[in-house]
Amino acid sequence: MSDSLTLNKEGWGQIITLALGVDISGYSAIALIFQRPVGAEVAVVGVPTGAPADPTTGDITWTSTYHFWNVLGDWKVIGRVTFGTDEVLYTKPYTIHIVNEWT
């Protein structure tokens, strides 16, 4: 995924992949943390499709859900991987531009 992405507010089912670039075998939890342009932060804990097919690549994949993108503007997202040792790794933050379907 590049540093930014533009998605339609009414869209869903987009596959978002954030890369750590390190082996995350043995992780105990994966989450994506979204910061809306306004309002509260949204954490997708457990990341429903977030268990990487190959944890050695460190890729975290999530498929957006219906009505998740409920605010127009620039969202920020970062991936968080926690290990049983309490070690926590974060991906590089990304920006997702949410636009109106008529834009």
pLDDT reported for residue 20: 86
- Rounded Cα distance between 84 and 58, Å, is 16
pLDDT in tens, the chain (103 residues): 557 778 888 778 888 888 888 888 888 888 899 999 998 888 887 765 545 557 788 888 888 888 898 899 999 999 899 998 889 999 889 999 999 877 5
Return d(Cα 9, Cα 91) in angstroms, integer: 24
Q: What is d(CA 87, CA 66) in angstroms, rounded to the nearest whole number?
A: 32
Determine the pLDDT at residue 18: 86
At 63 the pLDDT is 86
Structural domain boundaries enclosing 82 = 4-99
Closest CA to 3 of 75, 94, 69, 102: 94
Record the pTM: 0.81
| Strand residue runs (E) in the chain | 4-8, 15-19, 27-35, 41-45, 59-63, 73-83, 88-90, 94-99
Instruction: To the nearest 10°, report the CA torsion of 16, 5, 40, 28.
Output: 30
For residue 44, give the CATH number of its domain: 2.60.40.1220
Number of domains in the chain: 1
